[in-house]
Structure 1
Amino acid sequence: MSGFARPLCALGLALAAGLACAAPPTAYDPLGSRQSLAGLPPPGQPPLGDATLPGCPPPFAGGRIGLAEAVQRALCRDPRGRQAWAEIDLAAARLGTARSAWWPTLNAQAGIGRDEQRLRQSATVGAAATTSTSAFDNRNAQLSLAWTLFDFGQRSATEEGARQTLLAATASRSQVVQQIFLDAANAYLQLLQAQGEMAVARETERIYLQGFLAAEAKHSAGVDDQAAKLQMQTAFAQSVVARVRAEGQLRTAQGTLAAALGEPPGRPVEADLDATRLPDTAFIRDTETLLALAEQQHPQLQAARAQLAAAQARSAAAERAGRPTLSLAASQGLTRRSGSEAATGLADRQRDQSVGLQLTVPLFDGFSRVYEARAAQAEAAQAEATLAVASRNIALEVWQAYQAFQTQNRQLDGTERLLGYATRSLEVAQGRFKAGVGGTLELLEAQRALADAAQQRIGVLSDWRATRLRLAAALGQLGLWSVRGD
């Protein structure tokens, strides 16, 4: 065997052995396209990378649930998370495809056939016509190798574009995770608010019922007229309607949260959270610092930057597609013949081998490369504009969330005082009404004021929590730390 044939056959055997011993296609990664994904929790695990968390919990059977557990269950079971993982797998596979262009291609061919030749010799003077037949089997095998050695950077640009696309897919997954987190937290807070409003509606109904019974007793005793009784009866009926409406809103909120947890909407669920205990706000700083943090670490901006870099790399690859390429080509073949070789005059074994360099120079392709390069440039310009739009929108979201949070901070104090005043006012009005000093309208007004104050307090508490999480999401910092104390 020649000096060239030996390494060529060795390479073929090595590659064949590698393929024979390879892992399943989903796990086999000979070119390391998935190395950057080693730190990401796989599907079926909480995707926030918190080492203190256990694995995904079993399906929720119903009952009370905390905010942190609700978020964790949503992160584990929301199909958007699996969809984002599929995007990462796709990008990693394309990166592997781009890296494979640096490697040689090795192909084997084999064939088998049978040839027959029939020779007829015409009769001559003194000799009769004769017919002779020869047949032989033909077996051949060939091993060919092709290896691109130089292409003016086209493979480098293609690989860089694929690498940046993988980075963009990874950042987009982080954005999806934060959106799942925020959606689940908002569904939980809506249920918490609905539970509070339901409690207020029931308490309001009870207060109005007491007022109606007191008015009815005074009317029966002849102390008050029928108009006062009817006013209290009307107010009580309105409170019943409000309670029924609150029950419907509560059931809707329960179904929304159950669906966010990956459970049927009819699964009973109750928010288990002390609404009066407020979580930490140490991450909230001045607006300039917050805007700088969002610009630096928001996953949507990271994905947009990576998409821009990928588009620029694809544009460079399109520009270099029309340049020459230098390749190494080599082949070795063997042909065996058996049968009537003596009759045919053919050798029973024939070897062919070749090795050389091949220069390919694109001359004309119908102007397709011109338009491909133009399309790649337009894609890069589009990605640049997308990044600018995302940067502007995120900065605006940070500003709006910050201002809303500051407003709700001030409203917290105001609603707390308002609730105290309304509670005291109702106590006084009830005492005056029982003593016959106060009138029905005074009592009704105090009852309405307390109900409104309680509703405002519940709404502000819920909005404050939601806006706090909204601000954390606008900064790209949303994580289980933000709900761990809840």
Structure 2
Amino acid sequence: MAAGFGALLLLAACSTSALNLAPASPTTPYRGTAGTPAANAVGADFAVTPDPSLPITIAAPKLDPAHNYGLSELINIAQLSNPATQAAWQRAREAAAATGIAEGAYLPILTADVLAGYAVTSTTAPGFDGVLVDIPNGSITTSGTQIMPSLAVKWLLFDFGERDAALATAQQLSFAANVGFNGAHQTLIHEVSIAYFQYSAARAQSRIDAAALDNAKVVLTAAEARVEQGVATTMEVAQATQVVAQAEFDLTLAQGRERSTYSALLGAMGISPATRIKVQDLGGKPLPRQVPADLEQLITTSLQRRPDVQAAFAQVKASEQGILAAEAGFLPKVALTGTVNRTFGSYSVTDSRFDSTATLDVSQPNAAVLLGISVPIFDGGMRDARLDAAKANAAASQQDFARLQGAAAQEIVVAYDVLRTSLSAYAAATALVNAAKVNNEAALDYYKNGLGTLADISVTQTGLLKAQYAQAQARSDAFVAAATLAFATGTLTSAQ
């Protein structure tokens, strides 16, 4: 009794001392390793100790440094390197394996067991009064070792559809994981495409700013020439110098945005941010000529092929099967069981009444085949709670499915409108750029010939720069909207 009480105290002490694994206070930095007491840290440095054993697995694919990679090639690299698609594949395999578990419930369960040990039993044996001798009360003690190998089989024959519902649920969830795998690839294609178009737009803006800097330098040269000719003042040169400095500043910012969008492209691909890769310019890739005409029909057909909508509908079907499984829990189950075993033992039997001992060796076979019916009667309301939970889950799945359809339709409409607006904006910006170029070239020629002013050139250059920015942004927006519309309609399905 004392030993047991001491063991309980020891366990309680171990439970209390486990708190020393945590920091000593809310303001005390943690130092230590897993499973060891936290060390007392000096100061308020909350740095984490580097772990050399931590595996770093950022993808760094082998690339051709001389090759310019186009969008389809970037997508192919991403599909091979990004952990998101690998994880989606493993989840699909996990869901497929779950159907195997559900199918296994239809088969008998066969188990083999071996029990071995030493046992001592003692029973009271009555004495009796004899004619010649009296036998006092005593005990019979049996001790010895035994081993009992056994083979058991249990086969559930009938359960009112509970296994059928479980299998149907697993199949629906496997389907949801499979289309989710395709959806993961579609999402990756979309993210890489968007990052590529944004990087292309940033590069275009860098080129615009570089050209603006060249133009500013031309104006500065012209101003310096006019001063030498005596037809301008040094104030014009100073103003032209300021414009050059502003153009250099704008170019620096544009190059920074270009580097940021390049890093975002590598991040979307799921490869190391230190990777150096040449990326093809969007160049003269033609824009879509027009958007689809029938928006209502586009929404209907798109929702029917979107992976997330199909996966949500599979979740609805799976939740409905959950109700059937919960209802089957109220009904009896019929099972067949069978056992085969043999007991091997060697025993010593001692009878204290006669002060005698005998040895007994046993080898006893046993076998049984039983048909059983299990009828649930009372379980504290657990079956009712399971059924209520299943019904609530099915209702929630229906609402989630409806919400997803509405959100998906909204995505399609927004992308549709943005694409239409971007195409119109690009057409307008193109006309504006053409007019601004003519105006700027004329103002520059006038200034070189002494007929215009520096303010005229500044206005026309600013107008040209804004028009070119607007054209580049509208072009990028159109490609982004086209990719987003393709993704929202479930047609962005390959690197091509």
Match of 1:458 in 2: 472
- Which residue of 2 is the match for residue 360 of structure 1? 374
**What does the per-residue CA deviation read over 1:98-144, in whole Å, with 9 as the maximum and x for residues that have no partner?**
2221111111122344678999999x989xxxxx9998753322111
Change (3 A) 1:88 1:133: closer
Is 1:229 the counterpart of 2:237 in the alignment? yes
Q: Deviations over 1:385-413 (max 9, x none)?
A: 11111101111111111121122222232
User: Which of 81, 97, 104 pairs up with 1:100?
Assistant: 104
Q: Is the 8 A contact 1:67 1:273 kept in 2?
A: no
**Superposed, which structure 2 residues align to 1:267-286 within 5 Å?**
267-278=275-286, 284-286=292-294
**CA–CA distance in 1 between the matches of 2:348 and 2:440?**
119
Structure 1 residue 158 displacement after superposition: 1.2
| 1:208 pairs with one of 207, 213, 216 | 216
Counterpart of 2:402 in structure 1 is: 388
Once the two structures are overlaid, the 10-residue window that deviates more, 465-474 or 176-185, is: 176-185
- Alignment RMSD, CA only? 3.2
- Of all paired residues, the percent bearing the same amino acid is 26
Counterpart amino acid of residue 59 in structure 1? K
Compare 222-231 and 146-155 and name the one that shifted more.
222-231
Residues 352-407 of structure 1: CA distance to partner in whole angstroms, max 9, x if unpaired? 11112100001111111111111111111111111111101111111111121122
Tell whether the 8 Å contact from 1:254 to 1:269 is kept in structure 2 after alignment.
no
Distance 1:116 1:212, change over 3 A: closer
Tell whether the 8 Å contact from 1:59 to 1:263 is kept in structure 2 after alignment: no
Once the two structures are superposed, residues 6-51 of structure 1 have per-residue CA deviations (whole angstroms, 9 ceiling, x without a partner) of xxxxxxxxxxxxxxxxxxxxxxxxxxxxxxxxxxxxxxxxxxxxxx
CA distance in structure 1 between the partners assigned to 2:398 and 2:120 by the alignment: 69
> Is the counterpart of residue 83 in structure 1 residue 91 in structure 2?
no
Aligned match for 1:324, one of 316, 324, 332? 332
Alpha-carbon distance in 1 for matches of 2:158, 2:177: 30
Q: Distance in 2 between matches of 1:164 and 1:407?
A: 40
CA contact (8 A) 1:254 1:270 kept: no
- Give the C-alpha shift of residue 216 in structure 1: 2.2
Q: Give the aligned partner of residue 414 of structure 1.
A: 428
2:317 to 293, 309, 312: 309
Which runs of 5 or more structure 1 residues have no equivalent in the other structure? 1-55, 127-131
Q: Return 239-248 or 250-259, whichever deviates more.
A: 250-259
Say whether the 8 Å CA contact 1:201–1:242 is kept in structure 2.
yes
Equivalent residues in 2 for 1:26-425, closer than 5 Å: 58-60=61-63, 64-113=68-117, 138-278=146-286, 284-337=292-345, 348-425=362-439
The alignment partner of 1:480 has SS state of coil
Q: 1:193 to 1:352 in 2, by over 3 A?
A: same
Structure 1 pair 275–439 and aligned structure 2 pair: CA distance change class (3 A): same
* Separation in structure 1 between the aligned mates of residue 225 and residue 119 of structure 2, nearest angstrom: 119
Taking a change above 3 Å as real, the CA distance of residues 323 and 222 of structure 1, as seen in their structure-2 partners, is: same
1:80 & 1:435 partners in 2: Cα distance? 62
Whole-angstrom distance in 2 between the partners of 1:133 and 1:431: 124
Query: CA separation in 1, counterparts of 2:119 and 2:421?
Result: 93
Bigger drift between 231-240 and 241-250 goes to: 231-240
Q: Is the 8 A contact 2:205 2:254 kept in 1?
A: yes
Aligned to 1:40: none
| Structure 2 gaps, min length 5 | 1-58, 134-139, 350-356
TM-score (norm 1): 0.80
Alpha-carbon offset, residue 283 of structure 1: 8.8
Residues paired across the two proteins, number: 426
Cα distance in 1, alignment partners of residues 458 and 154 from structure 2: 92
Structure 2 Cα separation of the partners of residues 118 and 380 of structure 1: 60
2:175, 2:311 within 8 Å by CA — same for their partners in 1?
Answer: yes
Q: Does 1:473 align with 2:473?
A: no
Q: Are the structure 2 counterparts of residues 156 and 282 from structure 1 closer, same or farther at C-alpha, using a change threshold of 3 Å?
A: farther
1:427 offset after TM fit, Å? Answer: 1.7
Q: Confirm or deny: 8 A CA contact 2:331 2:376 kept in the other structure.
A: yes
State the Cα deviation string for residues 52-87 of structure 1 (Å, max 9, x = none). xxxx99434656321111111112222222222232
